[in-house]
């Protein structure tokens, strides 16, 4: 009995020691050589990042300038304080140390303020509870027998196959996947094509500060497969032609807000390298230390470390896709960073497009519609770390399925902004006119989104008086914009030698033509209605 009491006392002492160490953000007053850096942006960003920002008119500003290294060194040299991560966008460090030591930091002339992860120290609420395994649902496998093309349902549900048929597979789009680990990627046959083609651009573990992303968790390998995986006759991700950075920001041995800080640091690196799209199959709400746990009120899209970082990333021109979370039957609401307006939050449906009961719902605490859209997350096809096709459930997989589809879509009009792409995808979804808290705007249709994107930016005045044809080049179908006041028009397709191939009629309600039967080549298309007519050069793939 005495031994048991001693053991309990020892454990209690260990817990107190662990919680006497506090986590905090340390914000700085200023940065060094800001004007010089902005005058020579290649000194702080890659050329690819600069080109992307110029293409979208994204400003390069003081947020892009690194944190002052002298400040970092000064904090590191303070006894009892450990630096875990840094953020140039927020000009701060994530640190851990004794409460008294942390409080003295505010006396330094270059420190603006200290923000504690324990909200009671910031005069905020404390929320308790038991920390759950966030990957509990994803780690359950189901023995489902599929025919050839295990990923068919999840791809066709959102019409991502239409994009691939137009030869848009994400080529030229850089994607960063932030997760818990990517073991076996370099030897996995599902990634052989992209590694052979040099499309695995870089890897980094922000926890251990090393290049290797082989960890004990294969969660990232599976989510990555839903975007870039390819096994001939077995499996195709939604962006098999994209290029990738793989970053470890999730520590599966703990639940601590330092993971949010590592995540933001990874976003900043991705932005500096010119990444367009980030997929995060992670979410944060419940922590090992109850004082750090986020309440629903914290999930307003602007309060948490991750939400703040996500909004900066959106301002910098990136498009962030994030799993809504698997708390539909417990905490309920989307976690962070899915609560942020700068994140495109993805919920889960089953194979038939029905809401999955585990999928976290909205709105966030400020009333913002969340999730944004939905994709398959029940029995989603994945490729495991050994190269075998498997089936897992969770919003962790609906998010990368959507991320790859968006990469393929964005390839068709790379000059479009992240905000434009997000809104076009929302508008293509089946519940856009009647969104719900469970499913947001619903399940997107990427054929509809693609057609809308092709006429994006065309002057409304021009479209009001002229016919327009899209896409072009095309493989199977072409669509037409029909000017106001015209009920129908005659469409004729000719070879370049003048031989008519076929003719048809279009209306505002039926404005598409099936061209799958004609041979690849160049044709002349004429559209006539009364005194309004146009001719187009059509390239048939």
List pLDDT tens digits, range 438-485: 999 999 999 999 988 987 766 455 556 678 887 777 888 888 888 878
pLDDT at 15 over 50: no
The pLDDT of residue 127: 40
Listed residues 418, 438, 454: the one ending a domain: 454
Assess if residue 403 is contained within a domain: yes
The pLDDT of residue 372: 97
Tokens, residue 294: 């986020």
Assess if residue 482 is contained within a domain: yes
Average the pLDDT over each of 205-219, 228-242, 379-393, 443-457 and give the range with the smallest value.
Answer: 443-457
DSSP secondary-structure letter at 247? E
Mean pLDDT of 490-515: 88
Of 86, 127, 85, 83, the residue nearest 101 (C-alpha): 83
Average the pLDDT over each of 178-192, 351-365, 508-522 and give the range with the smallest value.
Answer: 508-522
Assess if residue 386 is contained within a domain: yes
Mean pLDDT of 497-504: 88
Do 445 and 405 belong together in one domain?
Answer: yes
Of 434, 441, 402, 440, the residue nearest 322 (C-alpha): 402
Do 202 and 167 belong together in one domain?
Answer: yes
Residue 387 sits at φ, ψ, to 5 deg, of: 90, 10
Q: How many helices (H) and strands (E) in the chain? A: 15, 22
Average per-residue pLDDT for the chain? 88
pLDDT at 131 over 60: no
Provide CB contacts within 8 A for 91, sequence distance 6+: 27, 28, 30, 31, 63, 67
The pLDDT of residue 278: 98
Do 300 and 314 belong together in one domain?
Answer: yes
Give CA–CA dist 72/98, Å, rounded: 18
Assess if residue 141 is contained within a domain: no
- Domain residues for the domain of 519 are 460-540
pLDDT at 85 over 60: yes
Give CA–CA dist 409/398, Å, rounded: 17
Answer whether 217's CB lies under 8 Å from 252's CB. Answer: yes
Mean pLDDT of 56-85: 93
Which pairing describes strands 21-28 and 111-116: parallel, antiparallel, or unpaired? antiparallel
DSSP string for residues in 429-498: STTTTS-BTTTBT----HHHHHHHHHTTT--HHHHHHS-EEESSSBSSEEEEE--TT---EEEEEEETTS
Question: pLDDT > 70: what percent of the chain?
Answer: 90
Do 278 and 156 belong together in one domain?
Answer: yes
CA 418, 376, 392, 259 dihedral sign is positive
Assess if residue 144 is contained within a domain: no
The pLDDT of residue 88: 95
The pLDDT of residue 301: 95
Mean pLDDT of 280-289: 95
Give CA–CA dist 32/455, Å, rounded: 44
Question: pLDDT > 90: what percent of the chain?
Answer: 72
The pLDDT of residue 2: 33
Stronger pLDDT, 128 or 314, i.e. the higher one: 314
Tokens, residue 249: 């920001």
Assess if residue 143 is contained within a domain: no
Average the pLDDT over each of 107-116, 221-230, 383-392 and give the range with the smallest value.
Answer: 107-116
Average the pLDDT over each of 106-110, 307-311, 314-318 and give the range with the smallest value.
Answer: 106-110
For residue 337, say if its preceding peptide bond is cis, omega within 30 degrees of 0.
yes
The Cβ of residue 447 has, within 10 Å, a number of other Cβ atoms equal to 20
Q: Helix 219-228 and helix 395-412: axis angle, to 10°?
A: 30
Of 201, 277, 187, 182, the residue nearest 239 (C-alpha): 277
Q: Measure CA 445 to chain center.
A: 18
Q: How many CA atoms within 13 Å lie on the side-chain side of 329?
A: 8
CA 188, 389, 242, 49 dihedral sign is negative
What CATH number has the domain bearing residue 37? 3.30.70.80
Q: Measure CA 363 to chain center.
A: 19
What residues are paired with 505 via a beta bridge?
490
What CATH number has the domain bearing residue 525? 2.60.40.10
Assess if residue 409 is contained within a domain: yes
Answer whether 417's CB lies under 8 Å from 332's CB. Answer: no
Largest CA distance in the chain: 101
Mean pLDDT of 288-300: 96
Mean pLDDT of 508-534: 86
DSSP secondary-structure letter at 516? T
The pLDDT of residue 159: 95
The pLDDT of residue 104: 86
Do 305 and 364 belong together in one domain?
Answer: yes
Do 17 and 158 belong together in one domain?
Answer: no
Do 448 and 475 belong together in one domain?
Answer: no
pLDDT digits (tens, 9 = 90+) for 56-69: 889 899 999 999 99
CA 440, 442, 446, 450 dihedral sign is negative
Listed residues 407, 424, 454: the one ending a domain: 454
Do 278 and 337 belong together in one domain?
Answer: yes
Cα–Cα separations (whole angstroms), residue 173 to 83, 112, 262, 418, 497: 33, 38, 24, 13, 38
pLDDT band at 207 (very low <50, low <70, confident <90, very high): very high
The pLDDT of residue 463: 59
pLDDT at 100 over 90: no
- Count of domains forming the chain: 3
Task: Look up the pTM and report it.
Answer: 0.76
Give CA–CA dist 350/380, Å, rounded: 8
Do 185 and 283 belong together in one domain?
Answer: yes
pLDDT digits (tens, 9 = 90+) for 356-388: 999 999 999 999 999 999 999 999 999 999 999
Assess if residue 305 is contained within a domain: yes
Do 104 and 230 belong together in one domain?
Answer: no
Do 445 and 480 belong together in one domain?
Answer: no
Give CA–CA dist 499/416, Å, rounded: 38
The pLDDT of residue 133: 61
Mean pLDDT of 516-538: 86
What CATH number has the domain bearing residue 212? 3.40.50.200
Do 237 and 372 belong together in one domain?
Answer: yes
The pLDDT of residue 128: 42
pLDDT band at 3 (very low <50, low <70, confident <90, very high): very low
The Cβ of residue 463 has, within 10 Å, a number of other Cβ atoms equal to 15
Mean pLDDT of 43-52: 92
The pLDDT of residue 10: 38
What is the C-alpha R_g of the chain? 26
Give CA–CA dist 279/182, Å, rounded: 14
Listed residues 398, 422, 454: the one ending a domain: 454
Element (H, E) at 375: strand 373-376
The pLDDT of residue 541: 81
């Amino acid at each position: 009995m005495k031994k048991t009491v001693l053991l309990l006392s020892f454990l209690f002492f260990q817990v107190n020691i662990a919680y006497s160490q506090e986590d905090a953000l340390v914000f700085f007053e200023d940065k060094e050589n800001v004007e010089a850096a902005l005058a020579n942006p290649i000194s702080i960003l890659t050329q690819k990042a600069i080109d992307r920002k110029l293409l979208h008119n994204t400003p390069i500003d003081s947020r892009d300038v690194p944190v002052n290294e002298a400040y970092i060194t000064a904090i590191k040299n303070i006894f009892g304080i450990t630096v875990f991560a840094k953020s140039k966008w927020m000009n701060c460090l994530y640190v851990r140390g004794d409460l008294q030591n942390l409080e003295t930091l505010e006396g330094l002339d270059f420190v603006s303020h200290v923000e504690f992860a324990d909200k009671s120290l910031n005069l905020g609420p404390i929320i308790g509870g038991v920390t759950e395994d966030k990957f509990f649902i994803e780690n359950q496998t189901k023995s489902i027998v599929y025919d050839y093309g295990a990923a068919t349902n999840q791809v066709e549900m959102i019409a991502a196959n239409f994009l691939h048929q137009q030869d848009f597979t994400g080529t030229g789009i850089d994607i960063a996947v932030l997760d818990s680990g990517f073991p076996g990627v370099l030897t996995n046959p599902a990634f052989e094509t992209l590694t052979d083609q040099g499309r695995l651009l870089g890897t980094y573990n922000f926890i251990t500060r090393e290049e290797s992303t082989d960890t004990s968790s294969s969660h990232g390998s599976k989510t990555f497969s839903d975007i870039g995986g390819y096994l001939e006759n077995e499996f195709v991700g939604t962006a098999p032609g994209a290029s990738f950075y793989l970053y470890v920001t999730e520590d599966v041995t703990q639940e601590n807000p330092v993971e949010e800080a590592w995540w933001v640091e990874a976003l900043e690196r991705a932005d500096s390298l010119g990444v367009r799209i980030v997929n995060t199959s992670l979410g944060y709400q419940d922590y090992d230390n109850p004082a750090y746990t986020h309440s629903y009120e914290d999930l307003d899209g602007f309060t948490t470390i991750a939400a703040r970082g996500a909004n900066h990333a959106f301002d910098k021109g990136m498009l962030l896709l994030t799993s809504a979370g698997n708390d539909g039957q417990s905490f309920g609401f989307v976690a962070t960073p899915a609560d942020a307006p700068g994140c495109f939050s993805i919920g889960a449906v089953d194979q038939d497009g029905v809401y999955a009961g585990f999928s976290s719902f909205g709105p966030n605490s400020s009333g913002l519609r969340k999730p944004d859209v939905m994709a398959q997350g029940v029995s989603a096809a994945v490729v495991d770390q050994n190269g075998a096709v498997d089936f897992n459930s969770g919003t962790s997989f609906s998010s990368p399925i959507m991320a790859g589809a968006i990469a393929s879509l964005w390839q068709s009009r790379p000059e479009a902004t992240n905000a434009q792409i997000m809104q076009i995808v929302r508008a293509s979804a089946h519940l856009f006119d009647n969104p719900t808290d469970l499913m947001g705007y619903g399940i997107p249709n990427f054929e509809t989104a693609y057609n809308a994107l092709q006429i994006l930016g065309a002057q409304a005045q021009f479209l009001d008086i002229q016919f327009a044809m899209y896409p072009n080049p095309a493989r199977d179908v072409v669509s037409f914009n029909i000017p106001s006041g015209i009920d129908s028009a005659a469409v004729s397709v000719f070879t370049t030698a003048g031989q008519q191939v076929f003719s048809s009629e279009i209306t505002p309600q039926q404005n598409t033509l099936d061209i799958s039967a004609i041979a690849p080549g160049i044709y002349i298309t004429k559209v006539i209605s009364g005194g309004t007519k146009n001719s187009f050069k059509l390239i048939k793939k």
